[in-house]
Chains A and B, each alone.
Chain A
């Protein structure tokens, strides 16, 4: 690109950016009166509508081709666009500019400038003096359009009238500049390596980006001449440069073997006493010395400018900025310095070509611009980790490389910078080789597998043990359960039996009650029926009845009533016995007397149907007995004997003493008791099947048995149908 075209482009941008605001009608408002106020305007608002400006300042630089000039008011500077019809001012003019604010854009940022409607030159003045600036000050956002001075060495230059393009090496980095030269002026000679002091305004061009615009040769001061023979520059060793034994701003020469050239233009050079990194980036192409002509193994001489490897902004991590280079010979490709990864990570072998191995931890591939890809890896050895970078055109074919592989890498060591860590830069995909799965990983995998197997075994055996235990426990639990179940079952059986028995008893009691009620009902209704019929006869037919008949009826009433009374008595006794109210209270008892009384009473009660004989045997004195119980027992037995005996058949009542017991017997020659009935004889309302029409309640023997039990005795029956019955009652009446 020609310098003229450059400036054309620059101004075209400025014009385009400012065009719309210029057309706007200016309002009568109080104008901005200082550049500071202009710079402080809000670009967003100004873009819509410019603010009126009336400022004074000194013209510091004027574009020779386009309608722009820079002014400075001693504090701030800005650029001013002026109408084409007007004659441009000269550098050093004092000027008053009237117009409005406008906005220019560069690098994504917006800057305030002035679109002048008119300007008036009011005089001349000296250009403002400004202190020397570092490169980083020129690079600041606020530096745009500002006036700076700086010192630098010229690392390269090219003259295309009317612009002299310069590549400057400043203490802290590279800076480009151009100097406006009148066409008539010849460019200075011996500029390479010259130390210069420049003063100008920071501006921008599409070709150079941010650039220092030096308006006139008056602002271009050569402090130290350069040379037109760069390779006459004194030769220094590489270690002198890397160890900063030679200062910034010097121009010097080194020689060595090319280890490699990275895609971003950094040459790694190995000398006798070390290796270094040389920046090969140039602001414009030098067709005479294409970079591609340099390859690994070339012996080269480099004339360049040491830079601070840390502070260099454009070329971080580099030791030297290349100004010129020549190939002096070619050798075999250099052999890498075999090195342990941990040593490299610790800082050794900077800039060297190394070959080292490590385990691949990660591998990432990301596309950059223009089909370029970056592969970033991390390898590890002995606890140290080191990134490895590879830039390739297209994606690097690394599919065979797998994480956890042991890899062998051959590449250039790049020192850490503010943006990248210390790393190995590979020059091609072939510089990365897999050695198979890392032994560490293999060992780890083995241990892992062994651990897994062991774990599985442990778990399995634990499981089996648990199963066994569980089975054992199950067996034990089952046994316990079985035992418990058996016990419970047994208990339940017992309970069931008890319940069944209770139910049976209950049922029996229910049946007993039912039978009792039925029997009582029947037994009462029968005498009641007789009484009723007798009374009805007397009531309704008294006058027609003979006297003896009436007497007979009265006797019926009497007998039936007495029978009913007796029946009631038995029911009540049984009720008392069942209720437990009839206890055994023994007292001295004269058995003989009692038995006599009972015999007499029975004879009376049965109308002497049968003779009853009391026949005591031996001495019965000294008995302790409950007379009431004895009355119930023997009263019932004797009356039964009479009841079931034919009229006139003798009933014998005997008693004898047998040790502590008294043994009583009631003997009759009556109908006897069938064997089938004997088992039920003492149950309520059970009567012998052979009783016929002999009245009875079925309660007598029940009462007997209960009373004998209360007295602690026993009852036995000896009977045969038709043969008579002998009841034997044994009572402990002689207990001391």
Chain B
């Protein structure tokens, strides 16, 4: 049974492409268009790993992460940021919040897959 990966990304094209790539790699990819939706799906689907954008409407990536870390049932799920905010401070902030990794757009396929494999 393949690992289930949740992609939370407000940019539809990006969300679709990442999901497609993960599916082609054998993962089960599910996606959400914003933080609230992503959190809801995460609670329902219990993904093995979450890839999450930072800047999103409704709830940004930081909010999603905090909520997950506060939720006993979601706390253990590996959480990887995939953000357009490439500043070093942004990455540190994300990691300090408890993220397992921080990827910056544009991300090379190899980096993305390595990050996912390493956390599964």
Q: A residues within 8 Å of B by Cβ?
A: 518, 521-523, 525-526, 528-534, 536-537, 539-541, 544, 549, 553, 556, 559-560, 692-693
Contact = CB atoms under 8 A, between A and B. Distances in A.
A541 B21 contact: yes
Given A518-B85, A522-B85, A556-B13, A532 B105 contact: yes
B17 A525 contact: no
A526 B104 CA distance: 10
Contacts of A525: 84-86, 104-106
B57 A533 contact: no
A521 B85 contact: yes
B97 interface: no
Interface in B13-57: 13-14, 17-18, 20-21, 24, 55-57
B20 to A, nearest CB: 6
B24 to A, nearest CB: 5
Contact of B10 (A531, A534, A693): A693
Contact of B106 (A518, A533, A539, A553): A533
Given A529-B106, A532-B108, 17 more contacts: A521-B86, A522-B86, A525-B85, A525-B106, A526-B14, A526-B84, A530-B11, A530-B17, A530-B106, A532-B107, A533-B14, A533-B106, A534-B13, A540-B21, A559-B13, A693-B10, A693-B57
Given A530-B14, A533-B14, A533-B21, A521 B84 contact: yes
A530 B106 CA distance: 7
Given A534-B17, A536-B21, A522 B106 contact: no
A698 to B, nearest CB: 13
A528 B106 contact: yes
B96 interface: no
B109 interface: yes
B109 A536 contact: yes
Contacts of B104: 525
B86 A529 contact: no
B87 A521 contact: yes
A525 B81 CA distance: 14
Contacts of A544: 24
A518 B87 contact: yes
Interface in B76-109: 84-87, 104-109
Contacts of A693: 10-11, 56-57
A541 B55 CA distance: 29
Interface of chain A: mostly helix, strand, loop or mixed: helix
Contacts of A530: 11, 13-14, 17, 106
Contacts of B24: 537, 540-541, 544
A531 B106 contact: yes
Contacts of A522: 55, 84-86
B84 A556 contact: no
Interface residues of B, number: 22
A528 to B, nearest CB: 4
Contacts of A523: 84
A74 B24 CA distance: 169
Contacts of B56: 693
A25 B73 CA distance: 151
Enumerate the 10 nearest inter-chain pairs by beta-carbon distance, A residue then B residue, closest first: A529-B105, A532-B106, A533-B17, A525-B84, A536-B109, A528-B106, A529-B106, A525-B105, A522-B84, A526-B84
B17 A537 contact: yes
Contact of B11 (A521, A526, A539): A526
Nearest to B58: A692
A536 B24 CA distance: 12
Contacts of B84: 521-523, 525-526, 529
Interface string B50-68: 0000011100000000000
A529 B109 contact: no
A522 B21 CA distance: 22
Q: Which of A544, A553, A559 has the most CB of B within 10 A?
A: A553
Given A521-B87, A522-B85, A693-B10, A528 B17 contact: no
12 contacts: A521-B86, A521-B87, A529-B11, A529-B106, A531-B106, A533-B18, A533-B106, A536-B21, A537-B21, A537-B24, A556-B13, A693-B10
Nearest to A539: B109
Contacts of B105: 525-526, 528-529, 532
A531 B11 CA distance: 12
Contacts of B85: 518, 521-522, 525
A540 B109 contact: yes
A674 to B, nearest CB: 15
Contacts of A549: 20
**Which of B10, B18, B57, B84 has the largest count of A CB atoms less than 10 A from its CB?**
B84
Nearest to A533: B17
Nearest to A514: B87
Contacts of A553: 17
A172 to B, nearest CB: 130
A544 B17 CA distance: 14
Contacts of B17: 530, 533-534, 537, 553, 556
Nearest to A529: B105
B104 to A, nearest CB: 7
A517 to B, nearest CB: 8
B17 to A, nearest CB: 4
A556 B106 CA distance: 14
A534 B20 CA distance: 10
A529 B21 CA distance: 13
A326 B55 CA distance: 154
B78 to A, nearest CB: 21
B14 A537 contact: no
A559 B55 CA distance: 21
Contact of A536 (B10, B86, B87, B108): B108
Contacts of B106: 525, 528-533
Contacts of A526: 11, 14, 84, 105
A523 B86 CA distance: 11
Contacts of B21: 533, 536-537, 540-541
Nearest to A691: B57
A550 to B, nearest CB: 11
B8 to A, nearest CB: 13
A540 B21 CA distance: 9
Contacts of A536: 21, 108-109
A692 B57 contact: yes
B107 A529 contact: yes
Nearest to B34: A693
Nearest to B54: A522
A529 B20 contact: no
A374 to B, nearest CB: 112
A533 B56 CA distance: 19
B41 to A, nearest CB: 18
B89 to A, nearest CB: 10
A518 B107 CA distance: 18
